[in-house]
Amino acid sequence: MSELSSEQYKPNGIVVDLAQQLVQINWSDGRVSVFDFDALRRACPCAECRPWIHDLLKASLSHEPADAVKHARGELKTMQDIQPVGSYALHFNWADGHTYGIYDWKYLRQIDPAQTS
């Protein structure tokens, strides 16, 4: 994977389809990323879901999410459940009550299903 400039991490547009449970991000470099809500919920980058990312108890934990995270359902009730965080990220208020993750643009590019497949 080549290194991206900070400008390539910026979206030109974000489209949310609540009925299909999809988020589409149109990036400034022309890439289009489409995420389903379940994949986003299961990829939550918060310290509770992925403690090894944050160096918490790194030595004693595997680098695998807990089963509860692996099987979490990404459900949103309204468009207000997706909020921008400054100009660098998105925040989701998942219907299961999980609201901790901040998905910055760089992380979203890294987990882009089209890039990882």
Span 14-40, pLDDT tens digits: 999 999 999 999 999 999 999 999 999
pTM of the model: 0.80
Could you give the 3-state DSSP secondary structure of residue 32?
A: strand
Structural domains in the chain, CATH included, are: 6-116 (3.30.2020.30)
- Cα dihedral 31, 36, 42, 45 in deg (nearest 10): 40
Spans of the chain, pLDDT less than 50: 1
> pLDDT at position 3, please?
54
- Using the Cα atoms of residue 5, residue 10, residue 12 and residue 17 in order, give the sign of their dihedral: positive
Using DSSP, state whether 102 is helix, strand or coil.
strand
